[in-house]
Amino acid sequence: MSIPLINLENLISEDLSARQAEMALLDKACREIGFFYLVNTGIPQSLINKMMTTAKNFFAKPLEEKLKIDIKNSPNHRGYGGIGEEQLDEVNKADWKETFDMALDIPSDNPLVAKYPSMYGPNQNSSDPEVVEALQEYYVAAFEVSQKLLTAMAQTLKLEGDFFSKCFKTHVTVLRMIHYPPRPEQSHDNGAGAHTDYGCVTLLLQDQTGGLQVKHRNGEWVDATPIEGALVVNIGDLMQRWTNDQYVSTAHRVKASDPGIHRYSIPFFVEPDYETEVACVPTCASEEMPAKYESVLAGDWIQSRFDATYDYRDSE
């Protein structure tokens, strides 16, 4: 079993037959494994390289400096998360990784901030302007890719093209940088514990180290071997729910890095406006296959999943 490859250029092609052929591949990937490589994304290699350098530079800063923007001081989950902060696998050890999260910077006087303070609000930025600038540039580029992809997914599901993308006005999409330092002892094999992602789709930029594994339906763990210039895309739980389990949100994990190895990855968690009502899309229900889930607000759903994985949120 391998992870399929989807060409974004074909998905947005003027040539109808090229587009339909790629849409069929996309549909199959979303239904069967929920993971695919996305190539020809239009994100320049220079920006990809800049992001990898940015991640290295950011995490190489002294802990004291990173802790000035500690995620524990952010009501809306922005900033730096130290090693051990997150435990994605509820049974095994905490993840051997450090993280940085940012999203749309919403001024405190926006009513959405008062209404949903744990999701909306300002970022906690690095004091290094180059880091801030690179992250902002990449956020815009990755968002553009996500909207093209969601449009293609809507078309593939025989919905209006803007069915998903219209739900991204004040969205809660998160850009994260992750550093997996070498594991402290041979027995600690958890870079990121086995989990599914919460949102619509995740676009992952990874370095060339490897370590990400995807759980196939037959129980086998498949390596998501890095491909230069490609993003690894996966379906999240919200999209699975939205499509009545037609598109699958698949478990994945990251092995901890070996001695001397540092791995960097940059996921972009594509998540719609908080108040998006997520109810079974019309083309995914029928008499034989009735809607399985109650409608839910996207933000409430994501929030409930967050609470399960972050220790420091338990007391809130």
Ligand X SMILES: O=C(O)CCC(=O)C(=O)O
Give contact residues for Fe ion (rule: CB under 5 A): 197
**CB closer to ligand X out of 8 and 266:** 266
Measured distance CA(210)–CA(232) in Å, rounded: 12
Q: Does the footprint of ligand X cover residue 212 (CB under 6 A)?
A: yes
- The residue type of 99 is T
Give φ, ψ of 9 to 5 degrees. Answer: -60, -40
- Closest distance to ligand X from the beta carbon of 309 (Å): 10
* 178 binding ligand X? (CB under 6 A): yes
Helices (H), the chain: 8-11, 16-32, 45-59, 63-66, 111-115, 129-156, 237-242, 298-309
Is residue 3 at the binding interface for ligand X, with CB under 6 A as the rule?
Answer: no
Question: According to the binding rule CB under 6 A, does residue 200 interact with ligand X?
Answer: no
> Is the separation of the CB atoms in 270 and 203 below 8 Å?
yes
Kindly identify the residues of this chain, within the stretch 250-289, that bind ligand X according to CB under 6 A.
252, 254, 265, 267
What separation in angstroms does the CA of 269 have from each of 101, 146, 171? 10, 10, 11
204 forms part of the interface with ligand X (CB under 6 A): yes
Per rule CB under 6 A, is residue 239 in the interface with ligand X? no
Q: Supply the minimum distance, in Å, between the C-beta of residue 157 and Fe ion.
A: 23
Q: How far is the CB of 37 from Fe ion (least distance, A)?
A: 15
Nearer to ligand X by Cβ, of 30 and 284: the residue is: 30
**58 close to 65: Cβ distance less than 8 angstroms:** no
| Residues forming the site for ligand X (CB under 6 A) | 178, 192, 197, 204, 206, 212, 252, 254, 265, 267
